[in-house]
Structures are given as structure tokens and as C-alpha cells.
Amino acid sequence: MTSSLGPVVGAGSQPLDEDGAELAYMEMPKSMRTYSMPAVPEPEEVEDVTAALAVLAKVRDALDEGRAARFDLTGLDAANRAFVDQILGEGEVSIVAGATIQAQESVLAGVWRVHEVDTAGRLGSDIIETGDFPASVLAMAMTGTSAALTPHEGELPSMVYNAPALVTEMADRLATRASGDAAHVINLSLLPLSDEDVDFLDARLGPGVVTILSRGYGNCRISSTATRHGWWVRYFNSRDAIILNTIEITEVPSVACAAPEDLEDSAQRLGEILRVYQ
């Protein structure tokens, strides 16, 4: 809203303070990705994609049943695999797990394309997984992690004040956590923490091997840690500045997962696509 005198609300609407400071607003993400039907080829434009259609029909059935399943595409020829690529496209969530697993959610939520590569980057297997999150990635995130987090003992590093209490809180949650428990979220953005506090937490949780980027609304970067069920979840604005920094104690942060209703919706949409080729 504006007037002849300038903005009435928002940035620039308030008088300067005596020290010259201006009212400023945190920049939030400005776009949200939404589903759009992939540009599928016309039936007369493809030849002999029977094998691909058979695999995709099994994927549809697994989605319809809400079932986690794996389908190996390694045996498909180049034409059939290219057809699968075109049908599935690329969705909101991308994952790197160690040096050997790369996963991409398709435009159909709950349908994941998982590539396993060797140390030279050569493709070893090409898998479609259905489910809320790829099981192979979760297994990688859990491998070699510690199930417990012990409170800090001894003298604290300089400028570390409030982090030890958070370590104790996380240790208690991890010790009492049961399968299916709701995520325990610690919002670091709302707490009086120094940079050294955050570094201390990072060091205590330890580095993980899984990195997830979710682009559903702005950018959300999720990192596993060396502590089982401990995840960093950070939201960034369009200038790549952190606007929300959290630690989640959970199996997988929900922002990276497909919901049950997403799988139902994807089953319906994949069914509509496959009917074009019947």
C-alpha cells in the first residue's frame, strides 16, 4: 500500500532511528514448486517400450497399495530407460549418500530414482523405489552411526555457553526414543547461541554422509550426522542466507518425505499417464 507520502507499510514506511537504522524484513522464499504433468511423448512417437511400461505398471500398483518396493531398471535397453526418464522427470528432492548413492525424487511424489555407482562414478544399478523415503539412502545414513550422545564433561571451549544443555536434551531424547515417535525439533534460530555454540553442537553430533536438498518452498538442506536419528535441517532464502536452523531427532525429517496421500495421488497420476499408451 502506498500514498503520496510513500509506503504506508513495509520496508521504508517507518522513520529512521536516531542512529540511522532502518526497519528491515527478513527475506523469505518467493516461489513454490507445484506438480505439473510431465511432457510425455505421443504413443506414435515411441517404439517398443513394452518393458518400460511393464515396470511402470508395477510401480503404479505399489503406489496404489502404499507399499515400499524396488524395481531394477538395469536390464532395460537405452530406449526403454530413456522413456522411463521422460515419464518420471525430476521432482523436488535430490539426495547424495556417500560416494556411491545418488537419488532423485520424480515428479510423482514417493517415486524415487536411485543410482548406485562405483568409486569411479560408473553406474552399477538403476533402481526405482516407492515409499516415503528411499530405504537404500536411509540405510546409508544409519551405517556407522552412534546410537547414543553423551553429555559433555570437562572444561568448555571458549564462548560456548548454552550448547551443553542442548546436548543433554538431545542425549535424553535419543535414549528414550521409540520407533514411530514424533520428531523432536530444536529451533536454534530462536535460541541465544554463539557461533561457537553451533560449532560445538556440530562437532558433538559429528559429520554424516547423507545430504538432501528439498526445493518445495525455497531451499531446505538436510544433513545426516554421525549420531543416529540426528539431522541438521536448514532453510535458506533466495540469497542463500539461513532463515531457519534446526536439529531434528527423528528417523528422517518430514520435509524430505512423501506423505501417504502423496503416494495415492501419484498412483492416480501414473495411472493416467499409462492409459495414454494402452
Q: What band does 7 get if pLDDT is binned at 50, 70 and 90?
A: very low
The better pLDDT of the pair 150, 38 is held by: 150
- Per-residue pLDDT, 238: 80
Residue 274 buriedness (CB in 10 A; 0-12 / 13-18 / 19+): middle
Length of the chain as a residue count: 278
> Are 43-132+259-275 and 142-256 the same fold in CATH?
yes
Overall average pLDDT of the 232-260 stretch:
93
Q: Which CATH number fits domain 43-132+259-275: 1.20.1290.10, 3.30.450.20, 3.30.1370.140, 3.30.930.10?
A: 3.30.1370.140
Q: What band does 20 get if pLDDT is binned at 50, 70 and 90?
A: low
Q: Residue ranges per domain, the chain?
A: 43-132+259-275, 142-256
Torsion, CA 105, CA 106, CA 108, CA 112, rounded to 10: -50
CATH architecture of structural domain 142-256 = 2-Layer Sandwich (3.30)
- Per-residue pLDDT, 84: 95
- Per-residue pLDDT, 10: 43
- Per-residue pLDDT, 243: 93
Residue 166 has pLDDT above 80, yes or no: yes
| CB atoms closer than 10 angstroms to residue 52 | 23
Buried b (16+ CB within 10 A) or exposed e, 73-89: beebeeebbebbbebbb
d(CA 209, CA 141): 6
CB 88 within 8 A of CB 110: no
CB 192 within 8 A of CB 163: no
Overall average pLDDT of the 264-278 stretch:
93
pTM of the model: 0.82
CB 95 within 8 A of CB 126: no
Q: What band does 272 get if pLDDT is binned at 50, 70 and 90?
A: very high
Identify the H or E element spanning 195. helix 195-205
86-112: pLDDT as tens digits: 999 999 899 999 999 999 999 999 999
- Per-residue pLDDT, 154: 78
Partners of residue 163 on adjacent β-strands? none
